Chains A and B, each alone.
Chain A
Amino acid sequence: MNLTLTDEELAFRDELRTFFTTEIPAELRERVAAGRPLGRDDIVTSQRILNAHGLAVPHWPVEWGGKDWTSVQRHLWLDELQLASVPDPLPFNTAMVGPVIAEFGSQELKERFLPATANLDIWWCQGFSEPEAGSDLASLKTRAVRDGDDYIVNGQKTWTTLAQHADWIFALVRTDPNAPKRQAGISFLLIDMKTPGVTVRPIKLIDGGYEVNEVFFEDVRVPAENLVGEENAGWSYAKFLLGNERTGVARVGATKVRIARAKKLAAQVRLGSGSLLDDPLFAARVAELENELLALELTQLRVVASSADGKPNPASSLLKLRGSELQQAATELLTDIAGPDSLPVGADGIDSPDWAQRSAPVYLNNRKVSIYSGSSEVQRQIIASSILGL
């Protein structure tokens, strides 16, 4: 039993740290650290630098740009990436559709999509949720009917993140409405967003931003060669994808950066004869949050150290559940520090600082993290059934 990293792991970590802090533009990382929004080009720029050095998709199979790293190395990569405030490689590409194509796609699909997906030459979005299929994803209704060499797709997806930037969408579609189990009639289909009949409608969120969309399909003709794996086997690919999605979701590094920033900012807020940071009540809140984050980080390390085979661990539900709560706690902390200065938003030429003006929208935006990718209630259900046998 030991907590220490080996000399090789330390050298590996230092090498990554140097790379992230020297090769990814500082201006970009500062914007991430400050919680300022990024544009499409920023994310593309950053991911291409990573990809040029083989650091965009290390968890993919080696022949498609992966690194054959240990689980500890993969953890260090993600941790250092977040600590350096490097923009996340686009998760729809690197964590979701890429691994699915690499695992279940034909050789032709792999060659056609994987290099472009790793390099963000193609921007993917995720077509899973529907108006009537949220946590109960298997009730999805979007239909794909075979017609010669094509599928004809009709239906609607929603909460489609950054679909406004997307070139392609990977969608779960119902190909057999008569299957004995709902899950058995679903396929995993790749659809070009420029195909006639695809319409994207933005949804404005409570932070005032446009991040998610509705995507409508009206008689959209999709070549059958865009089917991943077997027809009607899409549910198992989706489960594989969601398992991958949850392992990186604790976002411990990103929350660490936020709390460190919160302390710096609190030291600038006047309170009595000192600063907010001097207040015992406030300090206790920070100390508690730091400790909760440490407990999560150690739990994540336990999962990392035990998952040498890279298989999804049911304990990753804990990481998603708790990781969401602490991301939310950190964004709450920041907007509470801003206090009255969090009221103005987007105002130039006033004394309320920029970070404070952004803090409430960021707080409101982060309410999403306990909803997406399996809500907290879904995670509790998984823990209760898969771990506790209830």
Chain B
Amino acid sequence: MGVSLLGYELIAIILVFGLLILICLEYLWLYFMAERQEEEQKQQVQANEKIAAMFDAVINSPTEVSKINESKALKEYAQQEKHHLDMVSKCIIDMKSHEDILIDSKKKSLQFIYETVNPVAEYKKFFDENNNQDKAFACRQIADFGAKEEIENIAKYLDSKSSDLSYNAAMSLTVLGDGESVIKYIKKCQNNHKFSHRIIIELIKRFTGDREKLADDLLRDGNDDYIKATVIKAIVAYKYESFEDVFMDGLESSDINLKIACVKALSQIGKPSYEHTLTVLLHDKNWIVRASAIKGLENIKTESAIKAIFGATKDDEWWVRQAAAKSLVNADSELKYVESTLQGYDKYAIDAVKYSLYRYIDIKEDQE
């Protein structure tokens, strides 16, 4: 017994006590979390109320002196805590976004608050600290305030080793409309395809500068088909006819993603002059190309385009038939080809057209 007490049993006793201490520590942790959480919630509510009251006091201040004093108090409050600054900034940004419905005196007061609190300067202070997440957040906030004078300061983070910081810097620069930096960042993305798809689309979508020029620089300078395809995908909705030549060239590409992106872009523009090209693409060996071309023909809506769509309802691929049926129902206003399909012998085409009629036209209401 004595020997074993010095052996395993002693170890077990030590472990039991160790575990007891661990459980006590866990309890303490949970207890302090509960205390802190409650305190934080209270503080949050108080801070919200206080900030609202301070904004109110500035905006409705009876004299210039009280306005200055209240604004200074707001600035001091924002400087006390990081989350105070975030809350004050959020209020300013929210109010600025509704500036058009504010009366002139309130607009002026809001501007006065902005200038006194100077959130951009406050966020800039994070650039001197050694916390990448705070720097990233500061970049985004500065961009939300539209502080174009900070472009240079933010741009230096594009090369940061922290992907989170460089991404947020790029997002900020796109909001500030700095095309040069955005292009630099996107070109850097070429080496990391895993993230580039998401980033390129978001950057182009949120770009506040000349988006067409940005796309032009990216499409005409680069030779990476993946990046090109992604850029084209990002600008499809904007229907830039100036890239017609790029899209046409892309149709000859061996990169299937680029080809699909180009077909989609041409389809979205839907110029009648593309009809022949799109009709030829209905015979492409890739079904996504065929389905994408149908959308373009739907936009063109000429008799021959609708006829070509009608032909596509008999495609071997289910998805192409569905796309063709949907486009036919949308484009064939006289229902000539729709009826022709329904009276035909191709069961699959009939099914596809019937399904589209049910999905996109309220049959029940029509029957009633």
Chain A bound to chain B: no
Which residues of A come within 8 Å of B, CB atoms?
none
